[in-house]
Structure 1
């Protein structure tokens, strides 16, 4: 580009967007393209923030130049193959530390060519969201078990310890890695899954026609609530990979009765019933029973006679489907399984019922009398019985297996409903984080 065009880019780079700069430059230099202006702008602004060729190293060096504004954390317990950079907003967090009642955690993925994950913890105060801390995380090349959970736990622990943040509620989407980290750091806080994410996840699944769903532990369900029938089971093989938010840690424990192990796993053991004693004659000789000749060829005592109309020409088999000719496939005339995971007319009822149970429409909470039972356990019983009755009445065992294992069973129910906590949070969603992005 001409020197005059480069000079104009340098003059406007600090306070003007690249698109506006391109318009200004092309007014006097028609042959200059937008790409040329963008490349020139990038070269100028890189001097403001680029400190190293490595992105995380460059970001850390830049943040440490602003120590009066931010605190660069040094998390502990991070797997060696994980790259992480986390920092706190010193001015905001230090002023809000005694006023934080609710926080929300969310992430945005694929932020750049290295596919870094960017996490933010937002505080709610006076109906507004304030950023407390951020974390840049890269686990793409890591193979350590529990890499995300350990990294996020270390990050949130730094936030807690640096600014004495102890919220009563933590809001999150259905990602179990984030949920586990928040539960580990703030053990007394109630984790609350964003209702928008619950509604979105359930809505997508019940509109999916696939019958196979989350593995269902019916004995555990019946043990907790005896009205759940042991024979109300999915009729298809379970999908072991289908868990909302990822496979839970408590799923590794098997509550079902294990089969007795064999001494040799390659050997099959058969248990046969003891044969009854054989009859003997007066001389003690065992009797041998021989079938009649007619029994060898016919099922009945008498041979079947041909009908008057058929005259033995095979007309008695006229109702049977003829065997296909060579090379043809046999047609199945039986009724196919026309069941649906969740019939269309049932979908709105499921979502409406879950809205009531989550407090969104029914205000089901011990602090609000008049609508439901007055205790958390009674509200839980009332809600689960309603959900089970809806599935049982509509003969949808696969739907019930999905709802129970992902939303209604122990340790899942308390994540998305408000009645399990003595107080009522102000936030229903993680929208303060979504709007922040």
Structure 2
């Protein structure tokens, strides 16, 4: 059973193609069963996100599996295969397993180490399981990948360094005030950046969020998205006197908050500190506002400095993550090849013994009249021929078992000698109710 991964992502295809190739979650059960019906596919999973669409499959014939997956993608989305081939990448065998490990760990994401992909992979696997289109091989691949993803995040902390402007703004607020629950927060502006900031604030536990915008109607729409409250732009001063944090992202072409205005606001706050985070370009808050006592001001360049450091920290963490992937691939490769090699050697030896006994009995019947000593010599010679004939293939197969091509050699040997081998695909990879950094390798039910 061989793994195959075929798909496209933000590096291989423009958004126009990625949109056409996406799968809606509500249709996934039917889509998965449609895919599974194609020739050569024994188990399948579809991973569909905003940045990638990938099909993972376990197949008994790699070439047939690749043809089937490409045909399915072209047929389902109504795109010519020749056009689709320009954007698709194909990973087979252990390259497919490594790719899945890297995807699940966030190493293949647009933002390295991002956390969302781990849940997306888990959800894709869950959908395939519910649709009853997985098999033992797919189960092992994905359970192992999820365990690897958790281990990497636990050991490298790669996802602990925010790299988006809106997320970093919220993280700065948390560093300044600790928990955001109970803190008064005002968002100035109702555009895309304000929307992202509002979502991150709510995710961080903020419960009191006000939205102010020159268009009061837009402020209402944004506030309603996360149960906040809209306030009129002209009434903003009275709320500036009350809130603890202001995050500004308006589309204004000039400063909205000037030093004189903020001096007056601070005179009415009875000594309470205030954090201002200006993520607008052009800036909304005059830089001299940061000189006012009890005001801490960050502008977008301050945030970008933090983000640049976080990018560097993520890249350092990614190096450690890649080493973990290598380590996990070595363990997986060793385990996976053993599934093929040990049963194949046993089957080959049994085949040799069966042929020897059959031909030996025929020869002894024809010869007839041999003394016990003579018959013993004939049997000894037959044993020696079989053992010598099988010694080199078995020795070499054991050596190949430690390489990335080990399972291919066993497959070839099975076909050459017409061996009936039932591989053992049970493997214990516990990803539930265990420490995320612990990945156990072994066989189990």
Give the shorter-chain TM-score range: under 0.3
- TM, length-normalised to structure 2: 0.23
Larger fraction in helix: 2
- TM, length-normalised to structure 1: 0.23
